[in-house]
Amino acid sequence: MTTAVTTTADAGNAPDATPHANATRSESKPKVHVLRTLFKSLREYKKPSLLAPAFVAVEGVLEIVIPTLMASLIDEGISGKSMPTVWRYGIILLCCAMVSLFFGFLAGKFAAIGSAGFAKNLRHDLFDKVQSFSFTNIDHFSTGSIITRLTTDVTNLQNAYQMIIRMGMRAPVMAVVAWIFSYRISPSISFVFLGAIPVLGVGLCVLAAMVHPIFERVFHTYDELNNVVDENLQGIRVVKSYNREEFEDTKFSRISARIYRDFVKAEKVMSFNMPLMQLCMYVSMIVIAWLGAQQIIASGNSAANGLTTGDLTALVTYAMQILMSMMMLSMIFIMVIISRASADRICQVMIEQSTVTNDDAPVTTVADGSIDFDHVSFRYSDTSEKPVLSDIDLHFTSGQTIGIVGGTGSSKSSLVQLIPRLYDVSGGDLKVGGVNVRDYDLVTLRDQVAVVLQKNLLFSGTIKENLRWGNPDATDEQLIHAAKLAQADEFVSEFPKGYDTYIEQGGTNVSGGQRQRLCIARALLKSPKILILDDSTSAVDTKTDQLIRGAFRTEIPDTTKIIIAQRVASVQDADTILVMDEGRVIDQGSHDELLKTCEEYREIFESQTQQGQKEDAR
């Protein structure tokens, strides 16, 4: 199911679409199990994710065995002055080191595959989820927020996941096995390690409690930063036209400085992690050396009587391994703290349920282009005090041409966006082809309702590729025919490469009027039963506008055509014209009827007529 793909532009930025289109939802904690939600994205990467810790465990055990072999080499080979014993243990140590290296390589390989694959699937699932959203859902998240979640947040989770499946297994395995081996050598000394663990645990918990709120704030600021960048790049022509570069630079610097300050504050707190680790490590080493020296002296360096020099060497090595394992766990802990906020933010998108869904047994055929608004009302959210549309009761037969005029903010766009279910009605019933729009299969409905929204958006690619958004299987002849109907063929043919001309992202290398005509041609290729033009000819001249409407009358007479326009000339030939104000239809009728009965319509017409006469006089 898609939303944006079935339309020809993004309505989120329409002036009288959603008044809070870029507002960011209050980001509360998700009410589902975060790990369960995230791990659904593992899928085919479960096997590498399980193999990585398995290989790490083998690597860790082999590294723990090495100090014991070293102790035997010292006591039996060096102290016993036996070169054959030295060679034997040396070869065994070399073999253990090589096998450990091999398993470490495999662990790193599968950890990289598992984490990178997890991030790939997670990005895909996030993007796919956003594609399934209705406009109501999209209004909950700003553009910058979604970009941050798809990039920074997913990267944080990828790094954390890789550390968990590799270091997260290595550290506890090494710590536990090393402690067991040290206990076999000297039970009394082995308990020194256990004394350091609670100190580290309490310290890390305190650091986590202090830092987590800071990282949450940082990621919200990242959203604002992305919004500023997106707004600046989208409006770069306006910025340069008004010489506002310095203002935009100051605004960006201010938000960037907030991120800097929060990160510095977080890093200052987290910097206590290393001193805490080193304190525990050095204190443990001192205690082990003191106790070990006493036991060696008491035993006379005899294995039969107690501790030996080789045993002390092994204990020191085990101490280093245990404390290094604790350091690894602290690094993982830090990464988990950072990624925890990212995980919550990603889950907020993943658990968001589209407000527009298919019925259990949806209707898959649209009979005709008739439209019935039966006392329809609409609000953008349940908390809105005032409805955007109130008591809309309209009935149009298939093939009619309907014009809609009204002032800015009169909810003209909101009205037509209900027809393809870009939003759902809040009250009343809306029918297309005699069937409630909620009962249709979404793809079926939107295939039969072509919408050219206020913001005309072309995608990077050739003109052919852009037009085929309307019909992927369209032939070149069909492309040219649709372009001729939209009065686009003339200027396209003048390009050196014609329909193979490359369009930059957003259509920045063509004029506004050319973008509008290409978008209309794209919509016509769908062969829809309903065609909605939401102020989609505002950038073309009056003559071209007239030619487009004339082509509609002769070429697609059975298609219901809804034309929203600021110019009365664009709708005066319509079968019915609606005059809207503050979310209500205040009058309807033909052009001549409205001139007699509707004061608002007459004022619009006269003001535009007088303006046209002044321009002609010049």
How far apart (Å, rounded) are the C-alpha atoms in residues 166 and 111?
6
pLDDT in tens, 318-351: 777 777 777 777 778 778 877 888 888 899 899 8
Q: Would you place residue 202 in the very low, low, confident or very high pLDDT band (cuts 50, 70, 90)?
A: confident
Most confident range, picked from 165-179, 217-231, 345-359, 418-432: 418-432
Most confident range, picked from 111-125, 163-177, 296-310, 495-509: 111-125
What's the length of the chain?
Answer: 618
* pLDDT(250) > 60: yes
Report the side by side order of strands in the sheet with 449-452: 449-452, 530-534, 560-564, 401-406, 576-581, 584-589
User: Which of 13-17, 74-78, 289-293 is predicted least confidently?
Assistant: 13-17
Q: Which helix (H) or strand (E) holds 232?
A: helix 187-234
* pLDDT(237) > 70: yes
Burial readout 81-99 (b: 16 or more C-beta within 10 A, e: otherwise): eeeebbeebeeebeebeee
State the pLDDT at residue 19.
37
pLDDT over 70, % of the chain = 92
Average pLDDT over residues 43-58: 91
Average pLDDT over residues 351-364: 87
User: Which of 120-129, 145-154, 436-445 is predicted least confidently?
Assistant: 145-154
Q: Which of 342, 401, 345, 408 is nearest to 369 (CA)?
A: 401
Q: Would you place residue 225 in the very low, low, confident or very high pLDDT band (cuts 50, 70, 90)?
A: confident
pLDDT in tens, 579-614: 999 899 999 999 999 999 999 999 888 888 765 555
Q: Which of 136, 166, 182, 483 is nearest to 313 (CA)?
A: 182
State the pLDDT at residue 567.
86
How far apart (Å, rounded) are the C-alpha atoms in residues 317 and 237?
65
How far apart (Å, rounded) are the C-alpha atoms in residues 449 and 560?
9
Cα torsion angle, 258, 260, 265, 266, sign: positive
Better-predicted residue by pLDDT, 171 or 131: 131
Q: Would you place residue 520 in the very low, low, confident or very high pLDDT band (cuts 50, 70, 90)?
A: very high
pLDDT in tens, 73-120: 776 777 667 788 888 888 888 888 899 889 989 999 999 999 999 999
Contact 599, 426 (CB under 8 A): no
419 phi and psi, to 5 degrees?
-65, -50
Contact 459, 502 (CB under 8 A): no
Q: Which of 80, 45, 17, 126 is nearest to 418 (CA)?
A: 17
How far apart (Å, rounded) are the C-alpha atoms in residues 253 and 149?
22
pLDDT in tens, 372-407: 999 999 988 777 778 899 999 999 999 999 999 988
State the pLDDT at residue 521.
94
Q: Which helix (H) or strand (E) holds 460?
A: none
The full set of domains in the chain, from first to last, is 30-350 (1.20.1560.10), 362-448+535-618 (3.40.50.300), 456-527 (3.40.50.300)
H helices then E strands: how many in the chain? 20, 12
State the pLDDT at residue 26.
39
